[in-house]
């Protein structure tokens, strides 16, 4: 609950308890004053009745004692009444706390039950219901992520069997046929190597799932040239791009110093660029734009990766950075990963104080990496 929310709730309770207590005190005083007025009105007759009837005219000393105690007793009764009024106000305040504690306990025990508090605690009830709704959303998201992770483990375990079976099969052929023609042997060896690479990728995805759940993302910033940095990462993707006749075009200043964790940022750019190459149209150009942008008082490093290919629907675009999330058809593609690349990339960007945004329209999909910069 925000401090403003808490202050408003405190003021509401203070006004409610204070004014209710004052009103009760005024009502008690009015009733008591009326009672005293009636006693004073009938006091002569009452005095004669007490003196002549009760005391039979002989207890003059006792009568004087009772008369002198009258005002003291009246003041004592009024004081006791006011104490009871104030006590009722305090008890009412304590009942608010009891209701609040019961509501918080109910949040932990009864899932989905709306929190109902007295009208004076309506602001608190609204805030607690919001907290409960957010907690339930987080729990549902965590359960969904856990379920997706378990599904991915099953799919990856199944996928691992395919290249492993092929590797065993081709190695068995090579072992049992020593007189196999050189061309056939070379072809089988190449196929075995490709299957081994794919098996390595799948095993790495298993480790990726574990690392994502167990590791935090520490950031150790340093100064480096981001233009040279991007070119080096792009060069690593040359074999993958060439296999699909893709061109990676870099547009960046000749030199652009930046302040970030180079190792972590390399992973961010690597994951985003890998995603772009995987889904770009064959023979197209993947563009990488590097520059700085000033928004407000903050200077931002911006790395944008744009590819032409299948458009991402708004539904998938909203969830593309969720961990373990993949499009339905990704499971059947050779490049379908564990659905962690973009999720990890966003977490690293946010650990820097930045973010990653995505857009897809008219067949053009872009990912923008934003990293805030300190002064040089």
Give pLDDT tens digits for 93-127: 777 777 777 777 766 666 656 777 766 666 677 77
Residues 330 and 262 in one domain: yes
| Mean model confidence pLDDT for the chain | 78
> Which residue would you say has higher pLDDT here, 305 or 164?
305
- Is 129 within a domain? no
The enclosing domain of 292 has a CATH number of 3.30.565.10
Residues 189 and 229 in one domain: no
Sign of the torsion formed by the C-alpha atoms of 211, 212, 218 and 222: positive
Q: Which of 93, 109, 125 is the last residue of a domain?
A: 109
Residues 248 and 200 in one domain: no
Report the predicted TM-score, pTM, of the whole model to 2 decimal places. 0.51
Residues 175 and 248 in one domain: no
- Is 195 within a domain? yes
**In the predicted model, is pLDDT for residue 2 greater than 60?**
no
Token pair 């994951």 is at which residue? 271
Residues 155 and 193 in one domain: yes
Position 218 scores a pLDDT of 75
Position 43 scores a pLDDT of 65
- Is 256 within a domain? yes
Q: What percent of the chain has pLDDT over 70?
A: 73
Q: Which of 214, 240, 261 is the last residue of a domain?
A: 214
Q: What percent of the chain has pLDDT over 90?
A: 19
**Which domain does 169 fall in, by range?**
147-214
The enclosing domain of 164 has a CATH number of 1.10.287.130
Residues 203 and 243 in one domain: no
- Is 114 within a domain? no
Residues 368 and 226 in one domain: yes
The total of structural domains in the chain comes to 3
- Is 74 within a domain? yes
Residues 246 and 334 in one domain: yes
Which tokens go with 251?
């547009």
* C-alpha torsion 136→138→143→147, nearest 10: 140
For 127, counting Cβ atoms within 10 Å of its Cβ (0-12 exposed, 13-18 middle, 19+ buried), the class is middle
- Is 118 within a domain? no
Average pLDDT over residues 72-85: 85
- Is 282 within a domain? yes
Residues 259 and 167 in one domain: no
Buried b (16+ CB within 10 A) or exposed e, 247-277: ebeeebeeebebbbbeebbbbbbebbbbbbb
Q: Which of 214, 238, 260 is the last residue of a domain?
A: 214
Confidence of residue 280 (pLDDT cuts 50, 70, 90): very high
Confidence of residue 259 (pLDDT cuts 50, 70, 90): very high
**In the predicted model, is pLDDT for residue 135 greater than 50?**
yes
Residues 364 and 313 in one domain: yes
- Is 83 within a domain? yes
**Alpha carbon distances (Å) from 148 to 154, 159, 327:** 10, 16, 12
Position 49 scores a pLDDT of 59
**In the predicted model, is pLDDT for residue 269 greater than 50?**
yes
Average pLDDT over residues 299-320: 87
Residues 351 and 254 in one domain: yes
Residues 251 and 327 in one domain: yes
């Amino acid at each position: 609950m925000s401090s403003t929310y808490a202050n408003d709730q405190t003021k509401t309770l203070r006004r409610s308890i204070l004014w209710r207590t004052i009103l009760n005190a005024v009502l008690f005083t009015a009733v008591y004053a009326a009672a005293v007025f009636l006693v004073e009105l009938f006091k002569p007759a009452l005095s004669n009745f007490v003196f002549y009837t009760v005391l039979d005219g002989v207890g003059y000393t006792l009568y004087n004692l009772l008369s002198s105690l009258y005002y003291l007793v009246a003041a004592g009764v009024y004081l006791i009444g006011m104490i009871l009024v104030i006590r009722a106000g305090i008890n009412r305040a304590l009942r608010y706390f009891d209701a609040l504690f019961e509501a918080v306990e109910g949040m932990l025990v009864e899932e989905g039950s709306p929190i109902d508090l007295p009208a004076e605690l309506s602001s608190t009830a609204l805030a607690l219901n919001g907290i409960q709704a957010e907690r339930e959303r987080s729990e549902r998201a965590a359960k969904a992520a856990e379920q997706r992770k378990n599904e991915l483990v099953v799919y990856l375990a199944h996928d691992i069997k395919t290249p492993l079976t092929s590797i065993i099969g081709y190695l068995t052929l090579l072992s049992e046929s020593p007189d196999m023609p050189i061309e056939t042997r070379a072809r089988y060896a190449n196929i075995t190597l490709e299957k081994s690479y794919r098996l390595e990728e799948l095993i790495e995805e298993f480790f990726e799932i574990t690392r994502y759940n167990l590791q935090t993302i520490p950031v150790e910033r340093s100064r480096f040239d981001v233009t040279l940095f991007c070119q080096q990462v792009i060069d690593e993707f040359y074999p993958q791009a060439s296999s699909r006749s893709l061109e990676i075009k870099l547009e960046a200043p000749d030199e652009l110093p930046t302040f970030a964790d180079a190792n972590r940022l390399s992973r961010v750019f690597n994951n985003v660029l890998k995603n772009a190459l995987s889904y770009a149209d064959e023979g197209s150009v993947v563009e990488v734009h590097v520059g700085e942008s000033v928004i407000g008082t903050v200077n931002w490093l911006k790395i944008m990766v744009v590819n032409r290919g299948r458009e991402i629907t708004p539904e998938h675009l909203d969830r593309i950075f969720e961990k373990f999330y993949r499009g339905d058809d990704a499971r059947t593609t050779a490049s379908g990963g564990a659905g962690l690349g973009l999720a990890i990339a966003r977490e690293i960007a946010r650990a820097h104080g930045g973010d990653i945004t995505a857009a897809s329209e008219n067949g053009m999909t872009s990912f923008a990496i934003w990293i805030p910069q300190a002064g040089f």
